[in-house]
Chain A
Amino acid sequence: MSKAAGPAQAQVARFRKSTCLSVSGLAVDYGTTRIIFDLDFAVEAGQVTIVVGPNGCGKSTLLKAMARILRPAKGAVLLDREPVHHQPTRKIARRIALLPQGPVAPEGLTVRELVSQGRFPHQSLIRQWSREDARAVAEAMAAADVTEFADRRVSDLSGGQRQRCWIAMVLAQETEILLLDEPTTFLDLKVQVELMQLLHGIAHGAGRTLVIVMHELNVAAAFADRLVMMKDGAIVAEGPVREVFTTGNLSRIFGLDAVVLMDPESGRPVCVPRTDLARPVAAQ
């Protein structure tokens, strides 16, 4: 990793401009049902923002609208005060990258080929593969720690390794903003933690802005700089983790009866659901 530290340092300067991705008066429909109602929200630059909420609260829909997969029914998603849905999609792709939920690579593709695909928005018909592309792909693979299986097939890797390859792909896109939809779903806890550590490092090492949707509350609390809690298509609570991750919010938003403790090691909150079994033990 010491080799990767050099370019990573250089990238800090490249990405830490005052990028501003925000959402203003946004409403999104899915078919004929309105999923998100009149939502305002601004992403903090250079931070990891994690969006949580119960199933069907509209968190993935919000991310998809920000990534311009869904069109807003009302309002706009703004990048530097310009609506993203009205700009050339390729221009946006050089500034915002997206990792959708459960992506599937074409059969037989190698890791290097997958990661190279991240260079897509920087290439053109006559500019197919430049030195710049080669550098970005090598750096992205090093940062996501997938260089050692660069020439293996994506389909032969384990779930966690495969997800790291996809992260390398969006890193190779070299955008200041990364949007990730449930990047840790269906993975073991250990692998989830490793991935989140990687993503946290990407934000704070290289100064990129990350917006992540997930449903693992404790993992979210452990790695987020800012938490956004959604319910029924609206943002109910938003702010630094320690202010938002409270017993009251968990009960109000998730209907979860839980104790919030502070992890003495990291100083981050952890929630422990109350169960009937716990009470007699506590009473002793």
Chain B
Amino acid sequence: MTGAVWQRLDGPVTFALPLGALGILALLVAANVGVLATSLLTGTYPIDLAGVLATLFANPPSETAETVVWDFRFPRSLAAAMTGALFALSGAVLQNVTRNPLADPSLVGVSQGAGFAVVAVMIAFPGIGLGWRPLLAFGGALAVAALIQWIAMQRTGGATMRFILTGIGVAAFITAGTNTLLTYGDIDRAIAALGWLAGSVHAAGWGEVRSLALCILLCTPALVWAARPMAALRFGPEVATGLGIAVRRDRIILITLSVALAAFAVAAVGPLGFVGLVAPHIARRIARSGVGLHLALSAATGALMVSLADLLGRALFAPVQIPAGLVTAVIGVPVFVWLILRSQARSQL
């Protein structure tokens, strides 16, 4: 913790926060606002900044402008940023609690479990309301997480490696299951589900934004609490016990939290790969900080990643729209490879 620190050492409330990381967090937030503005301006319908601002303050220059900016572009961009933040937070918590730099909700099948549950119900009960999606996704994701943990924990030693490989196997199985449903199910509904499964935010409206905002609101107190046990669990279960952590209980809570974060994001936009894997690592590279601040940095990074991915996907091959999930995969895989190359052999095996 070299460099300037903003601290308060006496009194009932004490803290020490590195100014560098706080500055970078502010920069990331500013970048998010910038990308949001750019994405409001980007698209086939031309509109200038003044028009956008007027629309946002309920004084649209034209009715088309109101529809395009307020009903399409704005909720979509907000949904992109919020899901990015959720996936990043989920990945950060999962990497921490499994002590595995490669853990990612979409690599180990958690996102796929959420997707499967939603597709299954969409095909079986087509009339079901959108409001149920987050709960369904959460149920599916939690079941998968429990399954992986149960399988990987059957034997001691090398648990890190088994966790990730088990997750890859479970993910493959669930993907095949989802594909079966799509074959079997009514073709129209299957196609609707298919678009959602590509990880696209383009259909997101105010309904998604509202439920995402609610999820973030619900998870924030849990995340504030989580920073402390996460800090101790980084050192492994034994050191954490020595430092006064109820390891078993806190681990279960943290994994549930991570699963909930990923599931809520999946419910809104479908499984969006590699954000949860990559964002926490980028956040760690760009600023040194403690665990709590790192969570905030990861969220901001993830939000920026998905916003940018969505913007790129819209702009690159316009009028064809590439789902943000495909863009994050193309960007995320090289980072993933880089992580494989530099991960310490010792911590892996």
Contacts and interface: CB of A to CB of B under 8 A. Distances in A.
A266 interface: no
A67 B241 contact: yes
Contact of A120 (B232, B344, B347): B232
A121 to B, nearest CB: 4
A93 B12 contact: no
B243 A118 contact: yes
Contact of A89 (B101, B224, B238, B245): B245
Contacts of B238: 64, 67, 69, 98, 100, 103
Contacts of A112: 1
A123 to B, nearest CB: 8
Interface stretch (A6-14, A124-132, A223-231, A253-261): A124-132
Interface string A33-77: 000000000000000000000000000000010011100000000
A99 interface: yes
B318 to A, nearest CB: 41
Contact of B2 (A103, A108, A151): A151
A4 interface: no
B235 A106 contact: yes
B236 A104 contact: yes
B217 interface: no
Interface stretch (B13-21, B41-49, B71-79): B13-21
Contacts of B236: 100, 103-104
A129 B16 contact: yes
Given A69-B238, A120-B232, A129 B15 contact: yes
Interface string B1-45: 110000101101111100000000000000000000000000000
A117 B7 contact: no
Contact of B344 (A93, A103, A107): A107
A94 B244 CA distance: 8
Contacts of B346: 104
Interface in B259-278: none
Majority DSSP secondary structure for residues of A touching B: mixed
Interface in A85-122: 89-94, 96-100, 103-108, 110, 112-113, 116-118, 120-121
A104 B347 contact: yes
B15 A128 contact: yes
Contact of B225 (A91, A100, A125, A128): A125
B238, B244, B344: most-surrounded residue (chain A CB, <10 A) = B244
Nearest to B234: A106
Nearest to B292: A128
A260 B284 CA distance: 55
A97 B1 contact: no
B239 interface: yes
Interface in B208-266: 224-225, 228, 231-232, 234-239, 241-246
A67, A91, A131: most-surrounded residue (chain B CB, <10 A) = A131
A107 B225 CA distance: 23
A194 B241 CA distance: 27
Contacts of B237: 69
A170 interface: yes
Contacts of A151: 2
Contacts of A22: none
Contacts of B15: 128-129
A170 B9 contact: no
A148 B7 CA distance: 23
Nearest to A90: B244
Contacts of A123: 228
A68 B241 contact: yes
Nearest to A179: B242
A117 B242 contact: no
A236 interface: no
Contacts of B12: 126-127
A134 B9 CA distance: 9
Nearest to A122: B244
Contacts of B10: 130-131
Nearest to B242: A98
A137 to B, nearest CB: 11
Contacts of A133: 14
Interface in B313-349: 344, 346-347
A93 B244 contact: yes
Contacts of A129: 7, 9, 14-16
A121 B246 CA distance: 12
A152 to B, nearest CB: 11
10 contacts: A67-B242, A90-B244, A91-B244, A100-B239, A100-B242, A117-B232, A117-B243, A120-B231, A125-B228, A127-B12
Interface of A: 64, 67-69, 89-94, 96-100, 103-108, 110, 112-113, 116-118, 120-121, 123-131, 133-134, 151, 170, 173, 179
Interface of B: 1-2, 7, 9-10, 12-16, 99, 101, 224-225, 228, 231-232, 234-239, 241-246, 284, 344, 346-347
Given A64-B238, A173-B243, 9 more contacts: A91-B244, A98-B238, A99-B242, A104-B346, A107-B101, A117-B235, A129-B9, A131-B10, A133-B14
